[in-house]
Amino acid sequence: MTEWLIASNNQYKTQDLINCLAFYGLKAIPYTDKMPKLTFPAEQTDSYAMNALHKAQFLADKTGKGVIADDSGIEVPALGEHLGVTTKRELHQDVEHSDNQTILNAMKSQIDRRATMISTLVAIAPGKAPVTVVGRVSGMIATQTRGSYSTGFDKLFILPNQQHTLAELPDNSRLPLTHRGQAAKQLVAELRGV
């Protein structure tokens, strides 16, 4: 398959995933390049994999094309059961602050700043069983947002033995280090020849 559709209405996530896949030699485009914007099924609260599968299957059924979907989140031990699979939904409840600022506010008095970012990708090609992979990176939450090479949690996330946030690293350095980059590497390896 020469070109995959990304099953997402989040333009930043879509572009990041396209960049990650391209880094490993797989071409993907926003599904909206081929059709009008759709409303995807509501996400569940129990599984990254099921959320990604539902998005991928929904778009694959609509288009008959090869589709890749992502469900991702951040898990922060100091915040207990919050975030994870419901990361965006929880953060969007704070309408006065950006997602990153909401996390920084919650972490103000926390000494334990450990965090893990997780990306689960599901690819569905016509006539093939879904392929699911998981990328996971652990690090620390910075005390303020930094960097302009990327968006989202990359501005907060510092890998072990690094002084910089992911967003302070250019794409050629950053992409292989991210949760989505790790997942993309695995997915491209799985899809060789599909």
- Strand pairing category for 4-6 and 67-75: parallel
Query: Which of 57, 187, 65 minimizes the C-alpha distance to 134?
Result: 187
Q: Which of 16, 71, 99, 154 is catalytic?
A: 71
The residues, ordered by sequence, that sit 6+ positions from 193 with a Cβ below 8 Å of its Cβ are none
User: Hey, what's the torsion of the CAs at 179, 180, 181, 185, to 10 degrees?
Assistant: 110
DSSP assignment, residue 73?
A: E
User: Hey, what's the torsion of the CAs at 50, 190, 6, 40, to 10 degrees?
Assistant: -20
DSSP assignment, residue 125?
A: -
Q: Is 71 a catalytic residue?
A: yes
Query: Which of 179, 185, 180, 150 minimizes the C-alpha distance to 164?
Result: 150
Residues marked as catalytic: 71
